[in-house]
Structure 1
Amino acid sequence: MGNLRRARELFDAATVADKKHIAAWHGWAVLELKQGNIKKARNLLGKGLKFCGGNEYVYQTLALLEAKAKRYERARYLFKQATRCNRKSCASWLAWAQLEAQLENNRAARQLFEKAVQASPKNRFAWHVWGVFEANLGNIDQGRKLLTIGHMVNPRDPVLLQSLGLIEYKNSSANLARVLFRRASQLDPRHQPVWIAWGWMEWKEGNISTARELYQKALSINSTTESAARCLQAWGVLEQRAGNLSAARRLFRSSLNINSQSYITWMTWANLEEDQGNSIRAEEIRNLYFQQRTEVVDDESWIMGFLDVIDPAIDSIKRLLNLDQNSYYKVKESTSNTTAGDDVEGSTEESASPSSANVNDNNIDTGSGFDLDDFIRIMLSLDPSKLEVQLTTSLKDPPKIARTTNGVWRPATKTSRTSTTL
């Protein structure tokens, strides 16, 4: 876990030596967040704004905290501030888009996804999250297209191929999905989610032995990760359906030894016992979940403290923040202060409102004037009419060579694990 006390001492020393060291304020806040110290983290982020002025990373982190606490108007305001600090911040646009997607403000989410890919045309996370978003809404062709674009500009990323494989299995054929999973596993053999997804598909296809082998492969990579916990849970379900109840129980228990907070695993195990007529044992398992569950309690009292530490030089922020009886931020901007560049942001924020008529809009045309085909043709030199052909060709080619961190050329199958986090 490291020496937390020493880390705090160093962050404190850095901020004392230079109060405008924004990276120190933000890094210290992130450290406290990881320890569950929400109020302390907010205070540090507020001081970062006070001494350093507006910063996209600080605003973005505060926005994510507000979104997690379901204070959505505040989150929107803070995301807007983050994108004003840096309009090329793909991460801020993407995080904001995911918030709107979560709230089913589909048109607003699409507008923000458009801004994310415009900010960073080759960003694999932007293409991936947007593609999955469309596929989940039933826009399969659009989702497939977006993921394919992401793969074309990130040919060594296994996550994009993994998602394409799942889409093809659900909407096309298992054989094509296998090709995609196999290529993804060749690109990064240590990427556990690919093996798990592939194993799940084989189980659904009735290939139990193959599924077990793929799950075992995933666990052989690392048996202590969150992915390993999900793999054990999925394998437990397989054994439960196959009638191997003792094995299923062992797998569920092993999964919970890694992640004791998994509601799905606890309830799946409880349902197994219920199905076997062990009602008392099922109730014991449910009670165990609630007894060991831990939650971080957020504190509303940070609000006034946050406003108090904002630098007087940016008093305009205070005028934009107004706490009503429900403790929600309301953004008040006069039209005289709105620039041409802000018009787009204003329309996006308006469409993002939960009361907007755009909620649940499933029309992929956002009305923003963004032309995806023209964009990839100009910015990425891709022919929209040949994406499917290019994908097929890339899957037939041998895996490309990737450069490792030590500068030695090695086959792509030996690269380090690719992160899947947005």
Structure 2
Amino acid sequence: MFGVTKDFIGKSAPPNYVAGLGRGATGFTTRSDIGPARESGDFGADAKKAGGKEGGDDDDDERYQDPDNEVALFSSGPYDQEDEEADRVYEEVSNRMDERRRTRREAREKEELERYRKERPKISQQFADLKRQLNTIDEAEWAAIPDVGDLVGKNRKKNKMPERFTPLPDTILAAAREKSQYETSIDGSTTDSADGMMTNFREIGQARDKVLGLKLDQVSDSVSGSTTVDPKGYLTDLNSIALRSAAEIGDIKKARLLFSSMTTSNPLYAPGWMAAARLEKEAGRIVQARSIIAKGCEHCPTNEDVWLENASLNTVENAKIILADAVRHIPQSVKIWLKAVDLETDPKAQKRVLRRALEFVPNSVKLWRAAVNMEENPEDAKVLLSRAIELVPLSVELWLALARLETYKNAQTVLNKARKTIPTSHEIWIAAARLEEEHGTPARVGLVIQKAAIALSQTGAILDREQWLKEAEKCEKNGSVLTCQAIVSSTIGLNLEEEDRKDTWMDDAETCIAHGSIETARAIYAHALKEYPARQSIWKQAAFLEKSHGTSQSLEELLQRAVRYCPQAEVLWLMGAKEKWLADDVKGARAILEEAFRANPNSEQIWLAAVKVESESNEYERARKLLELARKESGTERVWMKSAQLERQLKNYEGALGLLEEGLNKYPTFDKLWAIKGQIMDEALNKTNEAREIYNKAVKNCPKSIILWILLAKLEEKLGMVTKARSTLEKARYTNPKTAELWVEGIRIEIRAKNTSAAKAMSAKALQECPTSGALWREVIYLEARPQRKARSVDALKKCEHDPIVVTTVALLFWTDRKIEKARNWFQKAVQIDLDQGDSFAWWYKFELQHGTEEQQELVIRRCIAAEPHHGEYWQAVAKDMSNVGKKTGEILKLCAAKLEPIK
């Protein structure tokens, strides 16, 4: 037995083993006993350590780096500058040698790491070949893979043993089937129960009827004999009873317990009683709620909210009694008195309660106001107000109410007394100014407001500009326009520096317009024009205000004054002439333009406006003479263009081409002259080849003109040269990068060529270059199939939310999906974003023609005429057509809507 050799004899000790440690022996532990600081598998670290040892002792002990800690042979000697220099040299040599050995060390580390990975590969590498083989598995093999079983602990035995099934007897199955079925017939009036008792259904029905009758008798009125419940509808009313779940009942019980604890621990806390009563009311226990709130009134008799809650939980008659008890405890409570007044239905009783309340609370403005409002006779109201201002002399409201009831002279006296009593009230001064305006003394309105500003500043009750402007807006809404104007003129310049006045006043006027206070804004502009009569921008803003919210007469008067102060302002002259022309007063328009000529002899805009008036009045000879004079005196490129356009309109193509040649000799880089010449050759004279040559010359002279490149591409496509048209647009995009119009035309060429895939590819490139172009997104949305258009429109709105083209496209999608109201809202949104986009108005009008009423159609026409749009792809095509020259905005809207085709 003793000759057996143990298996641990001769083997190495386990890690961290210390001999005798278990018996209490003590000793020291070395690094060899503990082992390395890193894990044994970290060969990269071991490699670095080995490399460091081969190249020298890089990790020297810190004591050899600090001369103060040296314990070597020469540690006792002084450490001087030479020793420091020697250490620095040795360190540099060591670093240099380490740099030389780095390549070999890194290569050796890499080799050892690779060898380690080969010996111990990752799990993902071990199963890489199996993963690649999964590509060859079909669905049947996938389905044949068994489920993973639970082979842990007891489940191991369960999974190994086959599952056993024991069939049930037929009697148990038959009994279960009979138990789940219902008996649909009754044999006789009784049936046997499980315990052998007989159940009589007739007796149960009779008992139910008796119980129901007793309940109906209990709710009847014992005095009058008439029931308060409809017996026939009683069962129907039971359906209206709110059934509460177990969770709600549990919450109510918890809250009831909490409130009970609150009222018990602190009975003087009024909100606790109110909350407990409201809980019972919510639970449908109104009697308990009344009882709780009554106890609350006993414990908190000086809290008005508890009394009001008690009154609200009771009937009207009981509430009157409760409030009568309340005023005995709190006679100074205004809320309780007003609640008592509300409970009374007879006006006399209400007056009696109010007078009783005023005996206890004579300084309450609310009670006096209620009492005055109850009086139907103005004389009685005056008497009450006279007494009220004696008792409450600091109430501005009561003074003003009395002044409104008095005559003009008496009202002045009352307001003077009020001003002396309350010198810091600006409302009294404004009421005095309104009084003067109402009685036909406008000259005194401004004096009153000026005195008000001085008096209030002396008393220290200074209002800033914003507060005075708000008061002016209130006066305008109350119909006191003169008072509003006086407030603006007297206070608009308070606390403003000279250099900030103009900009601040313009901002104030825009703010008032946004609030709908037109008279206040008009007064601000009038005051600004007095201070700066030569400022053209102020006159323009005032003119736009009159055009939008004033009359034609007021606008004409304003423009006449404007051109007297600013005779060099061409815009003001043109606005006056346009208003005359829109009013069919051609002579008046000519007279204004003649005066404008004298003030601005070489103005291009005035020349062209005069030509427009004559041409649209069918005075073509006068227009030709004016243009001839304009070419001699002004001679701008637009004058030459209008001259050619007039001849083209009159179908004098030879004269137009002659003018174009002469104009191009002077202005060879004006693209519109080239465009008109090409269009005449192509559309009027059917000389397409000559037109193509003209466009080719044009793009050489005007390489930055987008319209010329597009016209050339369209003409080449018309000639069947689709490939050449693509090449032209490619050159154009190279010359004019990030130009959405060129990409749009290229996409449309591909669509017309029925090359949808190329169009989609081009649209993807276009969106990379121009991601915020609404026209591009419109084409991209139309390229998608109908189910995908909604998702594309969401992407478009993310990139350019406030683009009218995108918003109009979304409206068209709603129109296609028959979502009429949404489509109408989105059309309105598109119009609000940009009033100058005529296509949005045209699509909206076409939509209303199909789904709207005549009023809605007229609304679109009125808004379009007021906006006078000039841009839009379809709008410009219709407006600039020679057959539509001279037509007004409403006519162009209808023509444009007729040419639009809904999306498919």
Q: TM-score, normalised by structure 1?
A: 0.51
What is the match of residue 884 of structure 2? none
Please say if 1:213 is aligned against 2:791.
no
Change (3 A) 1:122 1:249: closer
Identify which of 730, 747, 756 aligns with 1:148. Answer: 730
Aligned length: 276
Aligned to 1:167: 749
Work out whether 1:9 is the aligned partner of 2:565.
Answer: no
Are 1:236 and 2:811 an aligned pair?
Answer: yes
Q: Deviation per CA, 1:314-362, whole angstroms, max 9, x where unpaired?
A: xxxxxxxxxxxxxxxxxxxxxxxxxxxxxxxxxxxxxxxxxxxxxxxxx
For the Cα contact (< 8 Å) 2:644–2:657, is it kept in 1? yes
Q: Between Structure 1 and Structure 2, whose CA radius of gyration is higher?
A: 2
Cα gap change, 1:61/1:289 in structure 2, threshold over 3 Å: closer, same or farther? same
Deviations 1:67-101 (Å, cap 9, x if unpaired)? 5x565535444323312434454431123223444
Q: Take 1:188 and 1:30, find their aligned partners in 2: how far apart are those partners? A: 36
**1:364-410 Cα distance to aligned partner (Å, 9 max, x none):** xxxxxxxxxxxxxxxxxxxxxxxxxxxxxxxxxxxxxxxxxxxxxxx
State how 1:217-366 maps to structure 2 within 5 Å. Answer: 217=798, 219-220=800-801, 222-223=802-803, 228=804, 230-257=805-832, 258=835, 264-273=842-851, 281-286=852-857, 294=865
Q: Percent identity?
A: 19
Which whole-Å deviations, capped at 9, do the CAs of 1:91-138 have from their partners, x for residues lacking one? 311232234445473515323213312433564442222113433565
Find the residue that maps to 2:737 and give its secondary structure.
coil
Spell out, residue by residue over 1:210-252, the C-alpha distance to the aligned partner (whole angstroms, 9 max, x if none).
Answer: 33224424652x44xxxx1x44333222112223222122223
Could you give the per-residue CA deviations for residues 191-220 of structure 1, whole angstroms, max 9, x where no partner exists?
Answer: 332222222323x56422233224424652
User: 1:259 offset after TM fit, Å?
Assistant: 5.8
Q: Deviations over 1:17-60 (max 9, x none)?
A: 996xxxx63355568899999789988755432325x5543211
1:287/1:199 CA distance change after superposition, 3 Å: same
Alignment match, 1:176: 758
Change (3 A) 1:212 1:288: same
Distance 1:63 1:30 in 2: 13
User: Greater relative contact order (Cα 8 A, min sep 6): structure 1 or 2?
Assistant: 1
Alignment of 1:62-211 (within 5 A): 62-64=643-645, 67=648, 69=649, 71=651, 73=653, 75-87=656-668, 89-103=670-684, 105-107=686-688, 108-121=690-703, 123-135=705-717, 139-171=721-753, 173-202=755-784, 204=785, 206-211=787-792
* Alpha-carbon distance in structure 1 between the residues aligned to 2:613 and 2:763: 36
Partner Cα distance (1:252, 1:18) in 2? 42
State the distance in 1 between where 2:783 and 2:670 align. Answer: 36
Distance 1:50 1:211, change over 3 A: same
Distance 1:31 1:215 in 2: 40
Residues 91 and 174 from structure 1, CA distance in 2 versus in 1: closer, same or farther, beyond 3 angstroms?
same
Give SS of 2:818's match. Answer: coil
Determine the C-alpha separation between the residues in 1 that align with 2:616 and 2:628.
Answer: 12
The answer on whether the counterparts of 1:128 and 1:147 sit within 8 Å (CA) in structure 2 is: yes
CA distance in structure 2 between the aligned counterparts of 1:76 and 1:216, rounded to whole angstroms: 46
Is the CA contact (8 Å cut-off) linking 2:777 and 2:806 kept in structure 1?
Answer: no
The answer (yes or no) to whether the contact 1:196–1:218 under 8 Å persists in 2 is: no
Q: Pick closer, same or farther for the CA change 1:70–1:213 going to 2, 3 Å.
A: farther
CA 157–249 in structure 1, closer or farther in 2 if over 3 Å, else same: closer
Q: Distance in 2 between matches of 1:259 and 1:153?
A: 29
* Distance across 2 between alignment mates of 1:132 and 1:212: 28
AA aligned to 2:843 is T
Q: What value does the CA root-mean-square deviation take over the aligned residues? A: 4.5
Q: For residues 65 and 251 of structure 1, what CA distance do their matches in structure 2 show?
A: 39
2:657, 2:666 → 1: CA distance?
A: 14
Distance of 1:193 and 1:148 partners within structure 2: 18
- Structure-1 separation of matches of 2:830 and 2:613: 23
- Between 130-139 and 281-290, report the one with greater CA deviation: 281-290
Amino acid at match of 1:25: S
List runs of 5+ in structure 1 lacking aligned partners. 274-280, 297-422
SS at match of 1:9: coil
- Provide the rounded CA distance (Å) in 1 between the counterparts of 2:786 and 2:716: 25
Q: Which residue of 2 aligns with 1:26?
A: 604
* 1:61 alignment partner, one of 615, 637, 642: 642
Give the residue type in structure 2 aligned to 1:237: L
Pick closer, same or farther for the CA change 1:290–1:207 going to 2, 3 Å: same
Check whether the contact 2:678–2:691 (CA below 8 A) recurs between aligned residues. yes
CA shift for structure 1 position 164: 1.2
Distance 1:80 1:140 in 2: 30
What is the rounded CA distance, in whole Å, between the counterparts of 1:130 and 1:80 in structure 2? 19
Contact 2:716 2:725 in 1 (8 A): yes
Conservation of the 8 A alpha-carbon contact between 1:150 and 1:160: yes
Structure 2: unaligned runs, 5 residues or longer: 1-535, 541-561, 574-594, 869-904
Distance 1:102 1:127 in 2: 17
Query: What do the CA deviations read for 1:166-190 (whole angstroms, capped 9, x no partner)?
Result: 2224435444333433333333444
Aligned to 1:311: none
Indicate conservation of the 8 Å contact 1:147/1:164, yes or no.
yes
Distance 2:699 2:837 in 1: 37
Deviation at 1:158, TM superposition (A): 3.0
CA contact (8 A) 2:568 2:599 kept: no
